[in-house]
Amino acid sequence: MRSSVNLTLAQINPHVGNLRYNLKRIKESWSLAEETSQMVIFPELALSGYPPEDLLLRLDFIKACHKALEELLDFSLRMRSTAVLGMPYYEGDLYNALLVIGSGRVRALYKKTFLPNYSVFDEKRYFRAGEEPLVAELCGVKFGFSLCEDIWHPDGWERNYALGGCEVLININASPYHRDKYEFKENFLKARAEDNIVYLVYVNLVGGQDELVFDGRSLVISPEGKVLARAKAFEEDILSVSLDVEAIRRRRLLDLRLRERRAQEVKRVYLPCLQKCSPTEARLERVLEGEEELHRAITLSLEDYARKNGFEKVVLGLSGGVDSSLVACLAVDALGNERVVGVFMPSEFTSEESREDVYLLVKNLRIELLEYPIIGVYRTFLETLSSDGLGVAEENLQARIRANILFYLSNRYGWLVLSTSNKSESAVGYTTIYGDMAGGFAPIKDLYKTQVYRLAKYRNDLKRDIPERVLLRPPSAELRPGQKDQDTLPPYDILDLLLELYLEEGLGFEGLVEKGFEEEVVKKVIEMVKRAEYKRKQAPPGPKLTKRAFGKDWRMPISNGFLEVT
């Protein structure tokens, strides 16, 4: 008998802890797919949002999740299709669980086997690991289920599922984005599908959640290792696909690999096949790369941070430099120009070129501009403090005066302050604590300075809003006459490469010197990174964009006596 099945990948953007909202999105998406699918698949922890963090240590939150499940089960009585979704599930202990629901019942339950406890993940803090696989049959097709991390382990359930006759593997995810991750992930999943001669259905979360941004890009991969369907990047999406398992059965008759081992015995759950569906045409969204991908990641994270925390407007200081110019563009792209306010706060050291560039940027973006010169306030401070020089303290004082103005506006109008600091500056402490480093959200905190320039040029290719001079002038904080960043820092192309190898690849002093960096430069940069640790612990959140970002992904002690350079 010929067997086929229609599946829908429901790539939604949940709001952590907002169970009413998440339940509404699940119901809406399930309803949209009802007529075309026999199974609708949602991401990991779709009901609670991911990651719930210490909400999972609250019994009232767990009870609320189960109450929301009861409401969803009542809703399922109206549906003929089956749904697969993730939620925190309490059964004597707390599990990161995948539920198969339909006709008013939990038809099957799978508990995540491998709990990630590295990088930004802390799942062993909250969950107990499951120990049992799950196989279900729907409309004559056999499915094996897993949860995110499970599929990355060589001793996971995938091979056992294939040996036991499963034709489709369902893997639901909350896999956060970082640069260069997607290509590796897709190639890995292709190999999993091809090695096990299965259709692999990979459903990922989408949306911004504090320091994390989830890129979606859910996938369906054929047993030949080809991508049959791909959902949108950085957007909610409903993606349907028809799978003909006859192709798998034919291929397995010709491929002897799956006959060489015996499968572990797994109890099979039979799901009611309540409707027939006409074949549907799969959709294959294009792959994003480079600066386009970074642009979409940052704007989604900023949009969601503002929306999920109830901020109607954002405000940022505009200096005429590339960092603030780029952040202003990203804010407009994420929120619209009517929700962005720029503030120009010139000092006696602000150049006429900077003023001109700020005003041209504001005109191009059509955002509101407020101007508050800080010369008088700065001189009052100097008189009060009996300052008679112009050193680092006086330079930083200017940055802190500007931050005070921004936070006054935030306090008065309820606006979200955007920090414009980048990763290069944060790494070496070339940003003022309680000054330009301060903010409620830092959109480019995980971009190195060279990446800032590349992204700014990409953004100008879309629409020439940033004055060309901003991209050509040597970067300067303009806190004293004639100041340039390179007065005290190595050139950014050298600094950023050194920082990337040190922060993300874990190279130490000797390894960096072996790479060809000058010993004195390496020593200076490492000492600057270490000295700035206490500052970074007080920095605002911003999206993780690289393999290792400051924040949850970087847990270096402040009081640190390890001597890397002797």
pLDDT tens-digit map of 181-201: 999 999 999 999 998 999 999
In a domain, 529, yes or no: no
pLDDT digits (tens, 9 = 90+) for 11-41: 999 999 999 999 999 999 999 999 899 999 9
For residue 441, what is the domain's CATH number?
Answer: 3.40.50.620
pLDDT at 261: 67
DSSP state of 513: H
Of 79-93, 306-320, 469-483, 496-510, minimum mean pLDDT range: 469-483
**Closest among 323, 324, 307 to 315, alpha carbons compared:** 324
Indicate whether 236 and 297 sit together in one domain.
no
Q: What is the pLDDT of residue 456?
A: 97
Query: What is residue 281's predicted lDDT score, i.e. its pLDDT?
Result: 86
- The verdict on 218 and 339 lying in the same domain is no
Contact 16, 51 (CB under 8 A): yes
Asked if residue 248 and residue 314 are part of one domain, the reply reads no
Q: What is the pLDDT of residue 332?
A: 98
pLDDT for position 253:
81
Token pair of 398 as six digits: 């200017």
Q: Look at residue 125 and tell me if it is in a domain.
A: yes
- Alpha-carbon span 84 to 41, nearest angstrom: 5
Residues 145, 108 share a domain: yes
51 plus 103 within the same structural domain:
yes
Per cent of the chain over pLDDT 70 is: 96
Query: Is residue 350 predicted with pLDDT exceeding 70?
Result: yes
Question: Is residue 548 in a domain?
Answer: no
Which band of pLDDT confidence, cut at 50, 70 and 90, is reported for residue 251? confident
Catalytic residues: 44, 112, 148
For the chain, first and last CA: distance in Å? Answer: 73
233 in the same domain as 128: yes
Residue 107 lies in a domain: yes
Say which CATH number the domain at 31 has: 3.60.110.10
Amino acid at 68: A
What digits encode the pLDDT tens for the residues 210-229? 999 999 999 999 999 999 99
Which of the listed residues 484, 515, 549 is the one where a domain comes to its end? 484
| Residue of 149, 90, 74 lying closest to 116 (CA atoms) | 149
Question: Could you give the number of structural domains in the chain?
Answer: 2
- Average pLDDT on 538-562 reads 91
Q: What is the rounded average pLDDT of the residues 262-281?
A: 81
429: pLDDT strictly greater than 70: yes
Residue 60 in 3-state DSSP? helix
147 vs 249 pLDDT, higher one = 147
CB 535 within 8 A of CB 429: yes
Which residue's entry shows tokens 């409309």? 139
pLDDT value of residue 164: 86
pLDDT-derived band at 153 (thresholds 50, 70, 90) equals confident
Does the pLDDT of residue 566 top 80, yes or no? no
| Backbone torsions φ then ψ of 558, nearest 5 degrees | -75, -50
pLDDT at 403 over 80: yes
Q: Of 390 and 167, which is predicted with more confidence?
A: 167
Mean pLDDT calculated for residue range 166-175: 95
Q: Comparing 104-113, 336-345, 381-390, 395-404, which segment has the lowest mean pLDDT?
A: 381-390
Does 480 map to a domain? yes
Q: Do 375 and 236 reside in the same domain of the chain? A: no
pLDDT of 260: 65
Mean pLDDT of all residues belonging to the chain: 92
Q: Are residues 40 and 170 in the same domain?
A: yes
Contacts of 25 (CB under 8 A, 6+ apart): 12, 13, 14
Whether 208 and 81 map to the same domain: the answer is: yes
The answer, yes or no, to whether residue 73 has pLDDT greater than 70, is: yes
Residue 398 CA to residue 153 CA, distance in Å, equals 52
pLDDT at 371: 97
Instruction: Report d(CA 4, CA 17) in Å as an integer.
Output: 37
| Residues 98 and 34 reside in one and the same domain | yes
- pLDDT for the residue 486: 66
Mark which of 219, 238, 271 sits at the end of a domain. 271
Query: What are the tokens at 271?
Result: 């799901």
Identify whether the C-beta of residue 115 lies closer than 8 Å to the C-beta of residue 97: no
pLDDT tens profile 516-549: 999 999 999 999 999 999 999 999 999 999 999 9
| Residue 508 domain flag | no
Give the pLDDT band (50/70/90) at residue 1: very low
> Is residue 22 situated within a structural domain?
yes
The 3-state secondary structure of 443-496, one letter per residue: CCCCCCHHHHHHHHHHHHHHCCCCCHHHHHCCCCCCCCCCCCHHHCCCCHHHHH
Q: Which residue segment(s) compose the domain that 405 sits in?
A: 293-484
Q: Are 320 and 354 in contact (CB under 8 A)?
A: yes
Confidence band for 366, pLDDT divided at 50, 70 and 90: very high
The residue-averaged pLDDT of 240-247 equals 90
* Residue 268: both structure tokens together: 């099979």
Pair (331, 254) in one structural domain: no
